[in-house]
Amino acid sequence: MLLFDRDNWPRHRPWLAFVAMATLGATLWYAVASLMASRLLGGGSLPGFTFGVIGGVICLFEFLIWPRKKFRAWRIGRVQTWMKLHIWLGLLSLPILVLHSGFRLGGSISAALMILFLVVIASGVWGLALQNILPRKMLVEVPAETIHSQIDRILGHHHDEAARLVQETCGKAVAGSSARTPSASSPEAPDDDEDEDAEETRHFVVGAVRSAGKISGKVLQSRSAGPSVEGSEALRVFYDLTAGPFLTPDGLKGSPLRQAERARVIFEDLRTKLDVRAHPAADALENLCDQRRQLAEQQKLHFWLHSWLVVHLPLSVALIVLMFVHIYVALKYL
């Protein structure tokens, strides 16, 4: 579910109105008080101090979303509600704390605090934009999406499945061929006994993307291998030289299969070299290569989807620490 979409926007509308009204009210109060004082009031004035307290409480609340997400089992409101509050109160804190500052950076601590605050807000808004755009993109472009941390493991599976598929289609590998040799990176690499079992059962699993109407996703498919096909050596060669390396975690770079259109042409060409009985194997291999590209895309999108947090979170921590320093110093030298 996206943070903002057409369906949930009505639920955000009251918050937008609240933030707008609160900003307007705070600005009016500040403007009137400043006009009466004929100067821009700072954090020590009544409105400035009030904004400081409100802004500080908001910052603390904003920070609490980290432990809230960390400890999901805690029953203190839905994470979705927390996130909504995190977004809108975070946005509200910007005008509130700018008014608290009196439009001045002040000394080192307050200047550092304000700069940190602005970067945190900016990174948060950047993150919010990414979180609203990229999941939609991911849904459309990566139907084979899997758990990000498990991509390498899945790639190992794919590699093994492809090797088994090629072996089942082309028959026993001749010396020097890598087909039917499970990937070293695969944590689930079947041992020799399992190979024998597999040979005996002639069943294996292939991850494939299937679509049903508007929904598309990855499904695991058990396939039963048929008899080996004469004259399918081209498939083995293709696997050994091109598809096999491409299916490894580091195989993306320099591979001709990296580009979808080029891959389609290559597979079309492969099929012309194969007996028609070997075409299902070529199709399955093409499907695995397609998933490989999707997982690469997922890795890229995942990086953008989460890397902003590498800035947002540490700076938020620094902001909270410095905020307490600022509170102590401001009250000491009131």
Partner 1 sequence: MAARPGGGKERASRIPLNYYKKRDAIARWKLGLSLLAALFTLGWWATGFSLGGPGLVSQNAMGRLRASHGPLTRAHATWDARCDACHASFQPIGDDSWTRKIGLTSASADTRCQSCHAVLDHHAETGKPGDTALKSCGGCHRDHQGRDASLVRLPASDCTSCHKDLKGHTQTGAASFASAITSFAGDHPEFALIKQKQGDLGTLKFNHALHMSKGLIEGETQKPVFTLAQLGEEDQKRYAREGQGASDGVQLECASCHRPDNGKLPPASSPLGVEAMASLLSSGTGGYMKPISYRTDCAACHKLEVIMARGEAETKVTVPHRLQPSALHETLTNLSIGLSLGKDVKTLEKFTPSSRPRPGRRDEAEQSAREEVQARVTKAERILLGEGKGTCTECHQYRPSEGTITSKIDFTRRLDEYAVEPTFVETVWYKHALFDHFAHRGVSCQGCHESAYPNAPKPSRSNDDVLIPGKSSCVQCHAPEGRDGQGNPTGGAGQDCTECHTYHADEQSPGVHRVEPLDRLKFAEFLKGTGDGKGP
Binding of residue 234 to partner 1 (CB under 8 A): no
Separation CA 331–CA 318 (nearest Å): 20
| Nearest of 326, 331, 328 to residue 117 by alpha carbon | 326
| Nearest of 128, 101, 40, 89 to residue 323 by alpha carbon | 101
Q: Which of 108, 212, 213, 254 binds partner 1 (CB under 8 A)?
A: 108
Binding of residue 227 to partner 1 (CB under 8 A): no
Q: Which is nearer to partner 1, 95 or 156 (CB)?
A: 156
Strand residues in the chain grouped as ranges (E)? 203-212, 215-224
Q: Could you tell me if 148 and 305 are in contact, meaning their C-beta atoms sit under 8 angstroms apart?
A: no
State residue 71 phi and psi, 5-degree precision: -110, 80
Tell me how far, at minimum, the Cβ of 325 lies from partner 1, in Å.
5
Separation CA 199–CA 290 (nearest Å): 26
Q: Where does this chain touch partner 1 (CB under 8 A) — which range of 23-31, 204-212, 271-279, 282-290?
A: 204-212
Tell me how far, at minimum, the Cβ of 259 lies from partner 1, in Å.
27
Q: Which is nearer to partner 1, 110 or 255 (CB)?
A: 110
Q: Which of 222, 253, 261, 272 binds partner 1 (CB under 8 A)?
A: 222
Binding of residue 159 to partner 1 (CB under 8 A): no
How many residues make contact with partner 1 (CB under 8 A)? Answer: 59
Tell me how far, at minimum, the Cβ of 19 lies from partner 1, in Å.
25
Q: Which is nearer to partner 1, 13 or 72 (CB)?
A: 72
Which residues, 116 to 155, sit near partner 1 by CB under 8 A? 146-150, 153-154
Question: In Å, how far are 65, 79, 109, 124 from 72, measured between CA atoms?
Answer: 10, 8, 35, 21
Separation CA 232–CA 166 (nearest Å): 9
Tell me how far, at minimum, the Cβ of 332 lies from partner 1, in Å.
5
Please, which residues have CB within 8 angstroms of residue 311's CB and are 6 or more apart in sequence?
Answer: 119, 123
State residue 207 phi and psi, 5-degree precision: -75, 130
Q: Could you tell me if 110 and 326 are in contact, meaning their C-beta atoms sit under 8 angstroms apart?
A: yes
Tokens at 232, concatenated = 């399918």
Q: Where does this chain touch partner 1 (CB under 8 A) — which range of 79-87, 132-140, 259-267, 306-314?
A: 306-314
Q: Which is nearer to partner 1, 223 or 236 (CB)?
A: 223
Q: Which is nearer to partner 1, 148 or 273 (CB)?
A: 148
Q: Could you tell me if 30 and 46 are in contact, meaning their C-beta atoms sit under 8 angstroms apart?
A: no
Separation CA 259–CA 243 (nearest Å): 13
Q: What 8-state DSSP symbol labels residue 227? A: P
Separation CA 22–CA 50 (nearest Å): 13
Tell me how far, at minimum, the Cβ of 193 lies from partner 1, in Å.
7
Site string for partner 1, 41-80 (x = CB under 8 A): -x-xxx--x-------------------------------
Separation CA 239–CA 259 (nearest Å): 17
Tell me how far, at minimum, the Cβ of 144 lies from partner 1, in Å.
13
Binding of residue 167 to partner 1 (CB under 8 A): no
Is the Cα dihedral 305, 306, 310, 311 positive or negative?
A: positive
Binding of residue 250 to partner 1 (CB under 8 A): no
Tell me how far, at minimum, the Cβ of 216 lies from partner 1, in Å.
19
Give the binding site for partner 1 (CB under 8 A): 36-39, 42, 44-46, 49, 104, 106-110, 112, 146-150, 153-154, 157, 164, 188, 190-191, 193-194, 197-198, 201, 203-205, 207, 220, 222-224, 303, 306-307, 309-310, 313-315, 317-318, 321-322, 325, 329, 331-334
